Amino acid sequence: MADDAAGTKLGDRMTTGFTIAIDGPAAAGKGTISKAVAAHYGFAHLDTGLLYRAVGARVLIGDDPIEAATTLQPTDLDRDDLRTAEVAQSASKVAVIAEVRAALVDFQRAFARRAGGAVLDGRDIGTVICPNAQVKLYVTASAEIRAKRRFLELTAKGQMTTIDEVLADVKARDDRDMNRAEAPLKPAKDALIIDTSDLSIEEALKVALDEIASQT
Ligand code: C5P
């Protein structure tokens, strides 16, 4: 826990829970910002995309999506193939199914309420999962910049792809996530929008921390 003014005030509220909701499209930087914010305040962090990826991965091996979501096990989240482009596409396909989303709500809300504070990142945290979160951020960037970042990430891990393929994947996922009927990706009305297209990680993190400090 940081001992700056915001950290101290947050510390006072740790027993009642303090939730920071961070939403946005793929590869905008929300994962990096979420981890850094959680580390800064000593909060727990949940990457909710992993839940959908775990369901998507089970579907790729032949499971029914609703069955997979309702029987999801901690071991499903431990698989080391959850970060592939194939699993990401499968995740965004299962994420349109209302019953899949419903099966994952309670776990996310319980995580958000934990004493000690929580940072959740995803697509619908500020709008659906935690509409009463004390802080809501919407982290975005142009599709081209996000594709470039994701391309570098994937190739650094040894995955074979091209920038055009990644851009097409990013746009397909944006389209599916933003236009679905259930919990579409959009900023909550009271979210601060952070466009990271022209920001370094440090600059984006500073904007996020300043906003959190201003809400405490
Ligand atoms: O964040 P990540 O890219 O890992 O998410 C994978 C997919 O899971 C997204 O494209 C989206 O379709 C879905 N998702 C969602 N709601 C969340 C988190 C992720 O629909 N809260």
Q: What is the Rg, in whole angstroms, of the alpha carbon atoms belonging to the chain? A: 17
Give the integer Cα–Cα distance in Å for 76 and 51: 9
Question: Residue 130: pLDDT above 60?
Answer: yes
Q: Which residues line ligand 1 (CB under 6 A)?
A: 26, 48-49, 52-53, 88, 91-92, 95, 122-124, 173, 177
Listed in sequence order, the residues at least 6 apart from 91 whose beta carbon sits closer than 8 Å to its beta carbon are 49, 52, 53, 55, 56, 57
pLDDT at 17: 80
pLDDT at 1: 34
The helix/strand/coil state of 95 is coil
Q: What is the mean pLDDT of residues 104-128?
A: 96
Q: What is the mean pLDDT of residues 108-130?
A: 96
Q: What is the mean pLDDT of residues 73-100?
A: 94
Q: How far is the CA of 5 from the centre of ligand 1 (A)?
A: 33
pTM here?
0.93
Give the integer Cα–Cα distance in Å for 48 and 31: 10
User: In the sheet where 118-122 sits, what is the strand order?
Assistant: 44-47, 118-122, 19-23, 135-140, 192-195
Q: How far is the CA of 122 from the centre of ligand 1 (A)?
A: 6
pLDDT at 3: 41
Q: What is the mean pLDDT of residues 78-90?
A: 92
Q: What is the mean pLDDT of residues 147-162?
A: 93
Ligand 1 atom with the shortest distance to the CA of 124? 21
pLDDT digit string, tens, across residues 29-52: 999 999 999 999 999 999 999 999
Give the integer Cα–Cα distance in Å for 31 and 22: 9
pLDDT band at 109 (very low <50, low <70, confident <90, very high): very high
Question: Residue 2: pLDDT above 70?
Answer: no
Decide if 129 contacts 21 (C-beta within 8 A).
yes
Q: What residue ranges define each of the domains in the chain, with the CATH number in brackets? A: 2-207 (3.40.50.300)
pLDDT at 43: 96
Give percent of the chain with pLDDT exceeding 70: 93
